[in-house]
Structure 1
Amino acid sequence: MTAGSFGTTFAKVLADAGSDVTLWHRRPELVARINEFHDNPDYLPGIALPHAITATADAAAALAGAEIVVLATPAQALRENLVAWRDLIPPTATIVSLAKGIELGTGLRMSEVIAEAGAVSPDRICVLTGPNLAPEIAAEQPTASVIACTDPARAELVQDAVANGYFRPYTSTDVIGCELGGAVKNVIALAYGIATGMGLGHNTKATLITRGLAETARLGAKLGADPMTFAGLAGLGDLFASCSSPQARNRAFGEVLGRGATLAEAQAGTRQTVEGVKSCLAIRDLARGCGVEMPITEQVEQVCHEGVDPRKALAALMGRETKPE
């Protein structure tokens, strides 16, 4: 897996659960730092990493003999990386996706991108989702997550590999619902952050969370997800964490937009990937193609990519035709 924030955090989860883990990163200086000092100050300052974690800049070395391959690249870079790595992935390895997004241009979920670009059978692909704020997990604050796979035995294999004293994994076979929950929550968290930056209160924020969850569930129902998934860790759990925590990237980015910054100005102030910025385009297109109304997603896209003033976006949401809940 790559040695970014969540990739390094998940490596720690695996190591603390008893596995030997190899991290890959393209920067030799970061690789050397992890191997010598057992930390990653660029992404997890102040966190000591277990000695069971080693790092390499050689993708072939990282993947050689791996039983579980964890993909922690940004959603829109997943296909490109997989094309380069697919011949190196052991043919029986279980693939775990940490990416939360929908691919631009194709509307594919991350597991679908892995199956297509990596030439991997879908029943070998697991998706990890839920409330996954990396700094809290790295600090060993208790959390629960979901591992979804169409093959229950493979989900249980990953469950056994990651369960430890601070990380409690559950399993699911609803890959569609789990991936949609993780992707759409990024967009709703942007909206929550925008509202926060505008100085709006708890009523507005509660409305965004509940109506955002309704949008997610509508799209999920159209695509064949289990509605109950959105009431669990992959739906409400992940959404609440991403909206309520100032540490969450999408919420923090939204706050900057809500205070009047342009997209370019907000992007200049962060070095981390904010998945919702691009995913709002892909999710909007997916929803339109399915005939599903997602008004919050539509307005987030307008603010991010059309330069619409957040106050006008809010007015558009409030001015929609009234209807039953």
Structure 2
Amino acid sequence: MSRRPPSVAVLGGGSWGTTVASLAAMNTETTLWARDERTAREIREEHRNSRYLGDAPLTPTLRATADLEEAVHAADVLVMAVPSQSFRSVLGQVAEHVRPWIPVVSLVKGLEQGTRRRMTEIVAEVLPGHPAGVLAGPNIAKEVVKGYAAAATIAMPDLRSAEMLQDLFRTKLFRVYTGTDVIGVELAGALKNVFAIAVGFGDGLEAGHNTRAMVITRSLRELSRLGVAMGGTADTFAGLAGMGDLIATCTSPLSRNRHVGVELARGKSLDEIIAGMNQVAEGVKTSSVVMKLAAEHGVDMPIAREVDSVLNHGQPVFEAYRGLLRKVPGHEVHGEAW
């Protein structure tokens, strides 16, 4: 007699949360929680999320609700897809309704301000005893939901858990690889957003393809140095969650973080840019956290520092690249990050 696959609850009705919920609904019973009842109703009745994903069709069996308790009370797997700064609050609201010991998978690519916690560290504090991991990779939601081929990595503390969860999200065209480097995958997803803003600076200034390639490559070096210093595995940063996600976020016109950098370079204010977006660009909040982590771990991060200077300290965008170019390059592998 075959066992039914674990049921999934996804918290967060934005573009990526909705997309992952639609993928999971192809494989198992899945419920999506959206804060807005209108969004939940549209997903239930019309099988689309027009606010975030346009007319892209969602899996018809996907359920949706604006009631947190209804979404999680019977779930075997909890997936968190809310912004990083709301993560602790939402998790706290569902803590008493979640079944004991079920795994929690984060889709969030950010770090908590103030505490500088990764999302799985917050899970350990709010839901102690629940195994916590992360699903990340070069995943532009609007492409994945339309069925374009893509891949991601799911990292859990033990490989058997990752392999069990892998089958819940994998489809013919969405490949899911497994691993155990939760720290590395999580940090890669959070840090790359800051560097996408840096690449956006260059694109907005029309600095050219060579400059873009240079900034992406050296950004990967910075990302890897801090990630390894914080306990990640070097190979992770050369994989889907590291290099793969960095390339996608730095080059796609659909990238929110790159968009912020481009618009800043074109003269718009940060407040104006954020007001015109209907989703969160995690790199904006993460930039200052990254600089504090870099200082704690003794890692020089010139590109991230320039992004932080523009976002949080009033530096003009055109000065960011000038500051980087004033640094004398050293050994490409063993020298300082830039």
> 2:86 maps to what in 1?
77
> 1:38 maps to what in 2?
47
2:273 pairs with 1:266: yes
Contact 1:147 1:159 in 2 (8 A): yes
The AA in structure 2 aligned to 1:128 is L
Report how far residue 258 of structure 1 moved: 1.2
> 1:102 maps to what in 2?
111
The one of 18, 23, 46 aligned to 1:8: 18
> 2:58 maps to what in 1?
49
> 1:248 maps to what in 2?
255
> 2:171 maps to what in 1?
164
**Alpha-carbon distance between aligned partners in 2 of 1:83 and 1:58, rounded to the nearest angstrom:** 14
**Alpha-carbon distance between aligned partners in 2 of 1:41 and 1:149, rounded to the nearest angstrom:** 32
**Alpha-carbon distance between aligned partners in 1 of 2:55 and 2:65, rounded to the nearest angstrom:** 21
> 1:119 maps to what in 2?
127
**Alpha-carbon distance between aligned partners in 1 of 2:294 and 2:28, rounded to the nearest angstrom:** 40
Contact 1:19 1:52 in 2 (8 A): no
TM-score normalised by the chain length of structure 1? 0.96
**Alpha-carbon distance between aligned partners in 1 of 2:127 and 2:46, rounded to the nearest angstrom:** 37
The AA in structure 2 aligned to 1:46 is D
TM-score normalised by the chain length of structure 2? 0.93
Contact 2:25 2:59 in 1 (8 A): yes
**Alpha-carbon distance between aligned partners in 2 of 1:211 and 1:179, rounded to the nearest angstrom:** 20
> 1:181 maps to what in 2?
188
Q: What secondary structure does 2:227 align onto?
A: helix
**Alpha-carbon distance between aligned partners in 1 of 2:157 and 2:69, rounded to the nearest angstrom:** 28
Q: What secondary structure does 2:54 align onto?
A: strand
Report how far residue 119 of structure 1 moved: 2.1
Contact 1:155 1:172 in 2 (8 A): yes
Q: What secondary structure does 2:96 align onto?
A: coil
> 1:297 maps to what in 2?
304
5+ residue gaps in structure 1?
none
Q: Write out per-residue CA displacement over residues 95-134 of structure 1, whole angstroms, 9 at most, x where no aligned residue.
A: 1100011111112111111211x22336x11200110110
Q: Write out per-residue CA displacement over residues 169-202 of structure 1, whole angstroms, 9 at most, x where no aligned residue.
A: 0011111111111111101101111110011111
**Alpha-carbon distance between aligned partners in 2 of 1:140 and 1:23, rounded to the nearest angstrom:** 19
**Alpha-carbon distance between aligned partners in 2 of 1:50 and 1:224, rounded to the nearest angstrom:** 38
5+ residue gaps in structure 2?
1-9, 333-338
The AA in structure 2 aligned to 1:93 is I
The one of 317, 321, 331 aligned to 1:310: 317
The one of 52, 72, 86 aligned to 1:63: 72
